[in-house]
Structure 1
C-alpha cells in the first residue's frame, strides 16, 4: 500500500486492508465475488481473475517495480546453467567503518567493467556506524564479474550473492 500512498491519500473514504500479496488479493475478490472491493495489483493479475482495471499507474514512483527471488537447489536449477545468459547480479556485503572503504570497493568494480545500477545502504541494528550494502551490478562478461568479486573479498565482510540472472530488457 505504501507504494501507492499518494493515490490512496486522494481517496480518504476508501478502507484499506492489507493482504499477503497483490495477486492474492485479486484472486480473493474474484473467488468470493466481493462487489464494491478493489485490489491494487498488476494488469496481468486483474485479467487472470476476470477483474476490471479501474485505473492504471497509481504507484507513487512511476519507475517502481517488484522483484521476485526464486530459491532452489542448484542441482535442480536449469534455467541459468548457461553463464552467457547471466548479465546481472544482486549482492550484499558489509564494510569496516573507515575512510574510503566503500570507494575502494567501487574502484575495483569499475576496473572490472561492472555497472552499478543500484546501491543501497541500511544500518546494521546493534552495530553503531556499520552498514550493509545492497548492490545490483550489470556486466557483459561473467568471468570479469567473478574476478571482481574475488578482488573485493579481502575488503568486505559478510558477503552474499543474492542472485545472478539475466537482466530484464
Structure 2
C-alpha cells in the first residue's frame, strides 16, 4: 500500500501477540471437522497443531482469518472450521473449539503505524527516530542491487530487512523494500543522496523508532 500512496508515511511500529484459535459453528465437534480455512500465514503458524491433532481435516487457504470465520458461518456446515482470533469468533457468534493453537507461543506480528505526510512531523517530534524504511528500483543489470546495498555498508547503516516485490503491470520487474538503522548523524542523508544516483526510483517510506 505504501508504494501506491505517496501521501502516507511510516511513523512507528507496533508488535502484537497473535493467538490463533480453532473456531466453528456452535455445536460443532473437533473430531468431526473436515475442512479448516484461514489465511496462509495463519495455517503456517498453526502447522504443528494441524499435523498432530487435525490430520483428518484439509487445510484450505482463505483471503484473511476473520473472513474465514464469516465464510464458515455463511456456509452453515459444522464440519468446517476456521483459524482466527477471539474477536472474529465473537463478532460472528461462533464457538472456539480450542484456544492457542499456534506453534510458537511467542508468535508476534509487527505492524507499521502510518499517517498522512502532513501529520508525520507532529508524530515524530515526540520520539527519537532510529530507523528508516525505503522503497527503490534499480537498473536491470548484473550487480545493480549489490551496488545499492553497498552504499548502506559504506556509511555504516545496519540493514534490518530486505524484501522484493513484483511491480504491477511490469512482468519480471521488482521493487525493493529496505529497512535500515539510521547510523551516525548525517550518515543516512548522505547515503540517500548516493542511492538517488544509482537507483531508477527511490522513496523514503518513513523514519520511526524501532521497538527492538
TM-score (norm 2): 0.57
Question: C-alpha offsets along residues 29-63 of structure 1, whole Å, 9 cap, x if unaligned?
Answer: 2355533466xxxxxxxxxxxxxxx226435xx77
Q: Which has the larger radius of gyration?
A: 2
Question: Superposition RMSD on alpha carbons, in Å?
Answer: 3.3
In structure 2, which of residues 58, 64, 87 is the aligned counterpart of residue 27 of structure 1?
87
C-alpha contact (below 8 Å) 1:92/1:132 kept by paired residues: yes
Aligned partner of residue 96 in structure 1, secondary structure = coil
Per the alignment, residue 58 of structure 1 pairs with: 103
2:173, 2:206 → 1: CA distance? 23
Residues 126 and 78 from structure 1, CA distance in 2 versus in 1: closer, same or farther, beyond 3 angstroms?
closer
Count of matched residue positions in the alignment of Structure 1 and Structure 2: 150
C-alpha contact (below 8 Å) 2:137/2:200 kept by paired residues: yes
C-alpha contact (below 8 Å) 1:93/1:156 kept by paired residues: yes
Per the alignment, residue 33 of structure 2 pairs with: none
C-alpha contact (below 8 Å) 1:92/1:133 kept by paired residues: yes
TM-score (norm 1): 0.69
In structure 2, which of residues 114, 118, 122 is the aligned counterpart of residue 74 of structure 1?
118
Runs of 4+ with deviation above 6 angstroms = 14-17
User: Larger RCO: Structure 1 or Structure 2 (Cα < 8 Å, ≥ 6 residues apart)?
Assistant: 2
Q: Give unmatched runs, 5+ long, in structure 1.
A: 39-53
1:158 and 2:201 matched: yes
Q: Give unmatched runs, 5+ long, in structure 2.
A: 1-38, 69-83
